[in-house]
Amino acid sequence: MDANITVVGGSNIDISAKSAARIVGYDSNIGTVEFGLGGVGRNIAEGLALLGADVSLLTAVGDDSFGSVVQDNAREQGITLLAEPFEGEKTGVYVCINNNDGSFHIGINDMEIITKITPQMIEDNINALYFADYVIVDSNLSKETIEAIASHDFCLIADCVSTLKCQRILPVLDKLWLIKANLGEARTLTSLTDEADAYACIKGLVEKGLEQGIVTLGKDGAMSFRKDKDRILVYYVSNLPGTHPSKNTSGCGDALLAGFMIGLIRGREMRDALVMGQAASYLNSQSFASVNKDMSFSDLKDAVRLFEDSATITEEVIQL
């Protein structure tokens, strides 16, 4: 695999909790608590590295013990870090609380340090970014930093992160090579109502200048799309049917993007790349951590076969 990917985005420590029963509000709930690594950008980078990609990461961590954990993990995974820790700063922390079925309940993040990733920091590392075949950004970055990256001629991919933060990529939507959004984020980017379905959102994104992307649908699976002249090719892959419960959904979207990119790098068509993305998301859901440390390309190939045998996979066309 010859392609190099540089990820620009957040790194933090994750504290993930899962209730033993359905969460009861305003009460102490019995469950399990796990400590691990997170941050959308860092998660994507680690997922790519575990699946065999050559990855660099431009991120911001403090010179504290948590920052040392992030750096040590990157070295272990073969990820090239492009920036030194910030002296006197605190590494970001994200707390995620999930229901007993693994579904997300609430999260709190303390990620002020990501504001250290400035347009100037981008310029200081511009040669490393130009070396990359693909540059992935997450929308935790400031609008100004995202615009600074988009002003260069990169093969640029954006992860939307949230309905609030995805608005930071609106000014550069037509400069993106690919986007990953969930349905809520896609509605926000297209100014559509909560009733709009994925097909309407995909058409709206293309009309705003986007050529291709991924729209995730949570428990209902995921779609990818690609503009082809006066039509849009749309691919759908469901989740595996009910015999595979999730331990944790945190980080699964990040794993999906990593798996999807591995598929494209290995020459797969968009339909097959989406299957690989869904397979990576499934593998990630089998761990309490934001990134399943046991995930490998060999595991991914096995999971792809599960999806090919059991998932619903369709192809459709939207006329423009």
Q: Where are the beta strands (DSSP E) in the chain?
A: 4-8, 12-19, 31-38, 54-58, 80-81, 92-98, 104-110, 134-138, 156-159, 178-182, 212-216, 222-228, 231-237, 313-319
What pLDDT shows up at residue 107?
87
Distance, in Å, from the CA atom of 179 to the CA atom of 222, rounded to the nearest integer, reads 13
- Domains, the chain, with CATH or none: 4-10+40-60+117-319 (3.40.1190.20)
Distances (CA, A) of 78 to 51, 257, 280: 12, 19, 19
Residue 152, helix vs strand vs coil: coil
Condensed to tens digits (0 to 9), the pLDDT of residues 177-212 reads: 999 999 999 999 999 999 999 999 999 999 999 999
Q: Residues 158, 181: contact at Cβ < 8 Å?
A: no
**Residue 55: what residue type?**
V
Q: What pLDDT score was predicted for residue 249?
A: 79
- Residue 244 binned pLDDT confidence (cut-offs 50, 70, 90): low
Residue 216 above 60 pLDDT? Answer: yes
pLDDT in tens, 64-122: 999 999 999 999 999 999 999 999 999 999 898 989 988 889 989 899 999 999 999 99
pLDDT of residue 1: 64
Local confidence band at 242 (pLDDT 50, 70, 90 cut-offs): confident
pTM of the model: 0.92
Q: What percent of the chain has pLDDT over 70?
A: 98
